[in-house]
Amino acid sequence: MTDLQTTYLGLKLKNPLIAGSCGLTNSVQSIKEIADKGVGAIVVKSVFEEQINVDTEKVIKNEEGNIKLLTRASDLMLGRRVHDYDEAYSYIYDFARRNALDKYLRFITEAKKTVSVPLIASINCVSNNDWHSFAKKIEETGVDALELNIYILPSDWRRNGADNENIYFDIIREIRNYVNLPISIKIGYYFSALSQSVQKLSQSGVKGIVLFNRPYNTDFDVEKMEVSHGSIYSNDLEYNHTLRWISILSGNVGCDLSAATGIHTWDAFVKQLLAGAATVQVVSALYKEGLGVIPDILNNTALWMQRHGFADVASFRGMLSKSKLDNPAAIERVQFMKLYSGIE
């Protein structure tokens, strides 16, 4: 008998496979279908700060019919007061924002009532914009945890590395002060000193860090000579980057690590656990292969465990983390001379 149970963010999961936040976790019906396939937990579709701001601006435009006011929601978001009538404007802004957030709260309340598998709410934030009161309301719905998706592209010439990194800590501090819900953060890899930053973040009161979010990829259309975008879905070769960093970081951080991006198959799933991940998040595979990929990953992992004589996940988790390797340099190698020199 193999036991796939694990703990993540202090929660007991029946296995380490998590359906990550996406369009498939955006309705109660499809959350139920995913849960029925056997996942250990589900991250609900995020409420997006930027989307709320866009929606709020639309509402403001309708109510006021005044084009001059169109830019004002973003001004208020940034704390800029532009004119004397800001108070009235601020009222409309708050009202519209509250509506968008209430809709999300109703959705996760319903979802939580429908499934027994742990449910993780998600906020996609780009600033420290009064998220604590919303986080408090999320906590009151009874969901099991909250994932904060914070992805800052370091493209602003006026901000140095510390400025950007402080945003992460400010958001976490603000929310941690108001909620007891276990919190995880989902991050990208744009840090000037990734290991140190992840270690510091792991000591900031979060219970888990999801490595990594997958950036929206820029592309160009050469015929139209326009900016376009790369594939929305990952492919099954994209897991290596995450694998390296989970292996480097596991055992050296003060919280759980959850592996994400490019994990489509049972062996990619097992690799992340060998690297030291507490859980593994899957999204693109659900779209590309269908929900059947969930039992496929779990059944094949159990068979692999039987073949290798592992009774439970703890018996092999972290076996290939960098700190346990005889040749840790193999994980850090970034130049290819030895590997490539034999190829002609």
Ligand X SMILES: Cc1cc2nc3c(=O)[nH]c(=O)nc-3n(C[C@H](O)[C@H](O)[C@H](O)COP(=O)(O)O)c2cc1C
Give contact residues for ligand X (rule: CB under 6 A). 20-23, 45-46, 122, 124, 149, 186, 213-214, 232-234, 260-263, 282-284
Task: Return the H-helix or E-strand segment holding 110.
Answer: helix 86-114
* Residue 23 vs 142, nearer CB to ligand X: 23
Closest contact distance (angstroms) between CB of 189 and ligand X is 13
Closest contact distance (angstroms) between CB of 27 and ligand X is 13
Closest contact distance (angstroms) between CB of 281 and ligand X is 6
* Residue 183 vs 282, nearer CB to ligand X: 282
Residues 71, 77, 100, 149: is their CA dihedral positive or negative?
Answer: positive
* Residue 88: other Cβ atoms inside 10 A: 10
The DSSP result for 281-325, as a single string, is EE-HHHHHH-TTHHHHHHHHHHHHHHHHT-SBGGGTTTTTSGGG-
User: What Cα–Cα distance (Å) separates residue 204 from each residue in 68, 197, 201, 327?
Assistant: 41, 11, 5, 31
* Residue 216 vs 220, nearer CB to ligand X: 216
* Residue 69 vs 243, nearer CB to ligand X: 243
Spatial separation of the C-alpha atoms in residues 80 and 29, rounded to whole Å: 41
Closest contact distance (angstroms) between CB of 46 and ligand X is 3
User: What Cα–Cα distance (Å) separates residue 44 from each residue in 28, 95, 109?
Assistant: 10, 24, 11
**What's the half-sphere exposure (Cβ side, CA atoms, 13 Å) at 148?**
31
* Residue 292 vs 328, nearer CB to ligand X: 292
Closest contact distance (angstroms) between CB of 301 and ligand X is 16
* Residue 213 vs 247, nearer CB to ligand X: 213
Closest contact distance (angstroms) between CB of 323 and ligand X is 26
